[in-house]
Structures are given as structure tokens and as C-alpha cells.
Chains A and B, each alone.
Chain A
């Protein structure tokens, strides 16, 4: 091997040793030699920085995606909770109203929850979760804070059937609150009821409130039934044809208070 190469290799070995020692050294007077280390550090930093700047957008996208999924789940949970709170508030309102009814009405028997609709498509009945064991008997009255809901048509040991105010078989002695005109309120099987047996000479105003008269000895006196929607005098024969909208809507019925019959 040529002498020149040998010297070069020797020089390289010596430089390598010196570099290694400089790298490891902490002596202050050797700090200028650390510039090599600093350059290497900067190169490493530049490489890391480049790598980070390239991968950062994708990493951010992944983070955002996972955050988005998490937030959606949280939102769904929050909505469910909000709905539950809203439901609890509504139920609280209804129960407060029922409690007021119970406190003001000495004929109170029990409160019952609607647990199902009647199986017969043509009849307007609902199933209540209370029955004979809770003190409910046939022909007892179901009311809400709005007024009469119906009457008990069948009673079983643990449940009962409630005949709603708009069922075709329902009828109650009624009185118009302002004019004190009396008649019979009958269900039609639809949303509306009919106020029957009101002579033509009696003046009935639309919007007038209808209450129970108590003359049938079934419904207690003074409980709201509905309001007059329409008065038709032309088509009827001896009596007026008066359409009444009950205050209690069968589709919104959830809890009723059962009271003894009048």
C-alpha cells in the first residue's frame, strides 16, 4: 500500500479518536469543537422538523376525526339526557296537577297510568294499570287536570278499561257554563263529541265551555268536558246540532285520576 494512503488512514484513525473524545468531553475549552456536534444536532432537528411538518397535517386530521367521533357520541348522549330531563319535567308537571286534583277532590280513589290502547279499532278505550285491587270499580270516573277523560267500563284484578269521552257509547249529562243550558254530551267515535237535546230557541255560543251537570248521578257536577266548536241550526229537526271538542285528548292521555261516581 502506498505510503500516502497509510498516512491518510492513520490520520483518519487519529481524527476519529479525537472526534470521539471531543464528543464525549465536557471540558469548557473544548466547547468550540462541539460545533460539530451542534451541526449534527441541527441536521437531526431539521430532519425531525421536516418529518413533523409532513406528518403533522395527517396526524391532526386523525386527531380531529377521532375527536369528531367522540364529540358526536357525547352529543348523542347529551341529547338523550336532555330528552330524559325534559320528560321528567313534563311528568313532574302532570303529577303536580294530579296532586292538586287529589288534594281538592275528596272522591279521589287512585291515580292510574295508561298502559295500552283498546284492541278494538272502532271503540275508544284505553287500558289502565290499576284494577280491583287498587280500589277501582265499574263506572268510576277518570279525570285529568283538564277535565273528564272517561269512565271505567271494565275492571279486572290488576288492570281496567277506560271508556273515553269521545267513544260512541259514552254519554254524560252536561251544562253550558255561561248560559246554563242543559243537554247530553255523547261521543261520536271521532275527535268530536255531540251536545244533544238543545232546543232551537236556546242560544248557544261557539267557544262556550261545557261542564258536567251531575243530573245523571254518574258524573260529579262542575267538571269541564269541552268547548263548543260549531252550532248548526239549519239541518237539525227539533234540536240543534252542536259539535263539542273535549278538553282531554285521547291521544295525549298518560295519567288519570280515578274518582268515585257522583
Chain B
């Protein structure tokens, strides 16, 4: 009975999925930086155009996007420190899993703090 023709996904554990997350957030941050460099460089071309573009960001949809961006940057930053520790700290490889839980815990605390303040400012009026 031939079923699905495709192969299965490799069932890696915490290390593999943190790497997948690191990759995805890395690409997201890259595209943000691309747009960010472009919109910021507009100020040299025409300050009016710059103001118009930055002003266009002031809407709820962009606020959600910014929240997502901060979530990605925070994960990439904290997990990046974990990867450095794995490479250069003698016991890094041994405690990589514990370090991932620490990364996620710190991420949750910092992100929750940011999200509450940012979304209440952006969506809750003044």
C-alpha cells in the first residue's frame, strides 16, 4: 500500500529546531534591514518623502509587524549568544539544551515587556 511518496521530515531535537528558528529570524531581520536602509537613506534624497514614508508606518498593521520584528531580533540575539557559548565555552555543548531553555525564558520576559508597552501605545491611542 504505497502512501505519501515524499520522504519524512528529519526528527531533530531542540538543537535542530533552534537552528531553524535562528535561520528564519536571520532572514526576516535581513529583509527588515534592507527596507530600513532604503527608507532611512530617503532623508538624503528628500526629507518630505522620508517623513511621508515614516508616517505611513503609523498604523496597527505595522505595529504588529514591528512586534514580530522585535520578537525575531530578540530570539536571534539571545540564541546567538548561546551558539557562541556552544562554540567557545568548554561546557557549552554539554549544557546547550539548558541554555536554550534560558534563552527562551529570557526571550519571553523581554518580549512580553516590550509587547505590552508597544501595543498599548500603538493600538491604545495616547
Q: Does chain A bind chain B?
A: no
- Mark B residues whose CB is within 8 Å of A: none
